[in-house]
Amino acid sequence: MINTIEKTVTQAQAERAFIGETKKIGILGGTFNPPHVGHLVIAEQVADKLGLDKVYFMPNAKPPHVDVKQAIDPLHRAKMVQAAIAGNSRFGIELLEVQRGGKSYTYNTMLQLKVEHPNYEYYFIIGGDEVAYLKTWYRIDDLLKLVHFVGVNRPGQPRVTDYPVEWVEVPNLEISSTDIRKRIANKQSVRYLLPDMVATYIVEKGLYMDDKRDDLSGPLL
């Protein structure tokens, strides 16, 4: 199956000139458990600095890493991403991995997307700390033929890698989904860490909480 797709990709790339104008498309993959303002800042900064036509947020179904994160149902995460990006026409959501289910390998995903969108030039956005682990990614050398890697790093962070990575410096926002989940579980405020629509969704669905709340005006919001 993979070999068939690879041949199709090669044919599609050869025929790209006859399909239409090439578009520069960013992909920001992740668990988004939950999506926060840091994700939005990264996507906006990369899109602006690289002149991307659109950035798609791509929630995974199940991360392939050894230290698999205990993530909530991917449908909840997808709905939170939709809530987070509402109002920004340059943002979109890619549900391929959620719909496919199982472990998400970037190579397989991008191979399929290249078949579906041969005129898209993909820019795969990863954190600066993830760049060091590219050598462990599944079929990394083949993946490099499908996408441009974009590494986002904080001011002063070293840019060291053996792989072709385009670096974009972004504001240093110390926000993490792990910390947000802990704050919610402890009934602490996450105002301004999450988009309001995401926070409202979390409260309404009782996500990351030991007990559901009826009061939407509590410390979370």
Residue 54 pLDDT exceeds 70: yes
Question: In this structure, what token pair is assigned to residue 49?
Answer: 């600095």
- Please give the Cα distance from 142 to 155 (Å, whole number): 31
Q: What's residue 221's pLDDT?
A: 57
Domain ranges in the chain are: 2-175, 176-221
Mean pLDDT, residues 48-62 taken together: 96
Choose which CATH entry (3.40.50.620, 1.10.10.10, 3.30.1120.10, 3.40.50.2000) describes domain 2-175: 3.40.50.620
Question: In this structure, what token pair is assigned to residue 205?
Answer: 């669905």
Residue 116 pLDDT exceeds 60: yes
Nearest to 44 by CA among 104, 97, 96, 84: 84
Q: What's residue 160's pLDDT?
A: 83
Backbone phi, psi, residue 181, to 5°: -60, -40
Average pLDDT score, the chain:
87
Split at pLDDT 50, 70, 90, the class of 17 is very low
Backbone phi, psi, residue 49, to 5°: -75, -25
Mean pLDDT, residues 109-126 taken together: 97
Task: State the Cα angle at 52 between 2 and 171, rounded to 5°.
Answer: 110
